[in-house]
Chains A and B, each alone.
Chain A
Amino acid sequence: MADQPDFAAHWSLHPSVSLRDESFGAMAYHHGNRRLVFLKSPLLVDVVRQLDDFESADAALDALVADEQRAALCRALETLTSSEIVRVG
């Protein structure tokens, strides 16, 4: 198991990633590892786009996500860190 990423750290979209809106959410492409990733909800896309503006991932989630959606969002964000779409720290 990979370590749980640090939600208290500052997160941001990786600089080599392009993000394009689609009807289901967005598609992301990482020009470094050439991975194509699907962001399957508009809320997730919103959070990912704004991560950089908050001091931590937790702070972004506090501000943008309702409690009952938080667990699902955290899981989705974790997978985005493992594909390096989102950068921690």
Chain B
Amino acid sequence: MSVNHSLRDRFESGLAAPICLTWEVTYACNLACRHCLSSSGVRDPRELTTDEAKAFLDEVAAMQIFYINIGGGEPTIRRDFFELVEYGLSRGIGIKFSTNGSRITPEVAQRLAGNDYLDVQISLDGADAATNDALRGEGSYDTAIRAMENLRDAGMTGFKISVVVTRHNVGQIDQLLALADSMNAELRLTRLRPSGRGVDVWDELRLSAADNRALYHWLMDHPTVLTGDSFFHLSALGDPLAGINLCGAGRVVCLIDPVGDVYACPFVIHEQFLAGSIRDGGFGHVWRDSELFRSLREPGSPGACASCGSYDACRGGCMAAKFFTGLELTDPDPECVFGHGETALAQRVSLGPRPSPDHSKRVTISSR
């Protein structure tokens, strides 16, 4: 999808409904990935009930939101997960859900296959068990591969294999693409952001400047690889990558968390980006009227990027990446391709704020 300028201005000022709505249905998870963006682990007892979840889906349908992305935690852990999926589908809502694959048995795969309105995204963070499991935990590679095989064998095509690109797997993207081909799936690469538990591993796992440059050219050469628009800060290197190329937080993107809180984006689970709760008058009210969203839809100030010739391509990058690394929102992206982010990082007065709330399991899982 490429978008011309006047439309991008429309996006900046917000739409009648989000394009990319993520709904994390539970904070419970059977894994404990080191970079989990939502610090998931333990279920929040205040989780939306089945009735509340269905009322929310009714509103999604009424607002004519085309599709939603369901995540977590591990969403399939919710007992009513498939009931909610079926309910959403019956309302004409497209549903894509992200899973670590642990519950995608051959029987479940059969149920999922062959529905245009349903899509599945399996998380995998390396082309081999050693690379993947170092981040996602022992056995998680085999689990994910088995889920993919089950989906393929059930005849499902075009499901997604979603990879957070790190310094350890960036050299494996050709292999990951070959894996996706062999599973009749599509590869999706996304940016590692310092969100959730990711804040603790970001420095250790993030790409070097050279990696980022190589990745940009690889993405330009492989336009069918999906990115969720997450590498637009690299568009400053030349021709823009396909996508909207601006921070969509609160404009076209938002997150509903398991207790119904609405945040500007899945990567900014922090009270500063909390717009309201769907328990408080419904989602549409928050989307339209929240003060936070209104302010995010104002034309942004280019701040320290004002004199950059690539501002139009990069728009200063990702708000979440700046916020959780302790930069000002008007600073350049910490991974600014011209190195201005490194300069800003070196000058910051304090480290970034801690993500909140944290639903990590209390026991620390040794994962190194």
Contact = CB atoms under 8 A, between A and B. Distances in A.
Interface of A: 16, 18-24, 27, 29, 31-32, 34-36, 38, 40
B10 to A, nearest CB: 5
Given A18-B66, A18-B92, 18 more contacts: A16-B116, A18-B64, A20-B17, A20-B64, A21-B16, A22-B10, A24-B6, A24-B10, A29-B66, A29-B94, A31-B66, A31-B67, A34-B94, A34-B119, A35-B1, A36-B19, A36-B66, A40-B7
B15 interface: yes
3 closest A-B pairs by CB: A29-B66, A20-B64, A32-B116
Contacts of A38: 3, 7
Contacts of B67: 29, 31
Contacts of B17: 20
Contacts, number: 39
B311 interface: no
A75 to B, nearest CB: 15
A31 to B, nearest CB: 5
A22 B19 CA distance: 12
Interface of B: 1, 3, 6-7, 10, 15-17, 19, 64, 66-67, 92, 94, 116-117, 119
B226 to A, nearest CB: 10
A25 to B, nearest CB: 10
Contacts of B19: 27, 36
Instruction: Point out which of B1, B66, B116, B117 has the most chain A C-beta atoms below 10 A from its C-beta.
Output: B66
Nearest to B158: A34
B85 to A, nearest CB: 15
Contacts of B94: 29, 31, 34
Given A18-B92, A22-B10, A31 B15 contact: no
20 contacts: A16-B116, A18-B64, A18-B66, A18-B92, A20-B16, A20-B17, A21-B16, A22-B15, A24-B7, A24-B10, A27-B15, A27-B19, A29-B66, A29-B94, A31-B94, A34-B94, A36-B1, A36-B19, A38-B3, A40-B7
A20 to B, nearest CB: 4
B128 to A, nearest CB: 30
A60 to B, nearest CB: 23
